[in-house]
Amino acid sequence: MCGRFTNELTWPDLFALYNIHNEAPKSNAQPRHNIAPTQDVDFVHLDKAGNLEFDRGRWWLVPFFAKVLPRNAMFNARIETVDTSGAFREGFKTRRCLIPADGYFEWTKNEVDGGKDPWLLRLPEGRPFSFAGIWAHNDNLGVTSCTIITAPAVPEIEHIHTRMPIILPPEAYRTWLNTEIQGKDAKALLLDAQIDRQLECHRVGREVNSVHYEGTDTKKPLINSL
């Protein structure tokens, strides 16, 4: 799935990730250690001229036609229905985005006490990456928002969760954002993304379970956690 994620990347990190050669802002991006649904996040999409553009919006999709903020969970979209669901299909056709991160959290049930044990999943050496997503702007509510697309988990991580957020390799960024690629071809691009197989995981402290916890130690491994 993807219930929370981290983004501790600086502006130079982000510009390098997306191969943007403009000068990065002098004030640095604020590190985010435990990003939760409904919070604002950074994302990247193409502007009208076809250039990469940074934007910011609510991580919980608000479709362009909504009259009120959705109560149903819309922080993730399933690959199986992203092109047919009324809430997501327009974004899949015309408003695709990349959501930068350097780790995300999933939970397993502890058989001893019944509690929820959080796990951090990330690429080797904590390399930055991008979730495949879609975005929307709702004029009625004045809200820009986005969602992450999920798929069945690859075997390497399905012991943590049966689903996973789709992480795209950098060479696929432009192709995913190119909305001239539609239908089965666009979904095939997502299904072919195998970077999730590289993910490493370790247990972290249960403080992460609280959406209000923003400590800098959210990535710290628990001793003897594996």
Residues 6+ apart with CB under 8 A from 32: 6, 7, 8, 41, 214
Q: Among residues of the chain, what percentage have pLDDT more than 90?
A: 86
> Residue 67 above 70 pLDDT?
yes
pTM, two decimals, is 0.95
Could you state, in order of their start, the residue ranges of all structural domains in the chain? 4-209
Q: Are strands 4-7 and 32-35 parallel, antiparallel or unpaired?
A: antiparallel
> Residue 21 above 90 pLDDT?
no
Mean pLDDT of the chain: 93
Residues written for the chain: 226
Tens-digit pLDDT profile for residues 165-219: 999 999 999 999 999 999 999 999 998 877 999 999 999 999 999 999 999 999 9
CATH 3.90.1680.10 matches 4-209: yes
E strand or H helix at 190? helix 183-191
| Contact call for residues 108 and 128 (beta carbons, < 8 A) | no
Closest CA to 134 of 66, 74, 72: 74
> Residue 226 above 50 pLDDT?
no
- pLDDT band with cut points at 50, 70 and 90 for residue 24: confident
| Contact call for residues 11 and 28 (beta carbons, < 8 A) | yes
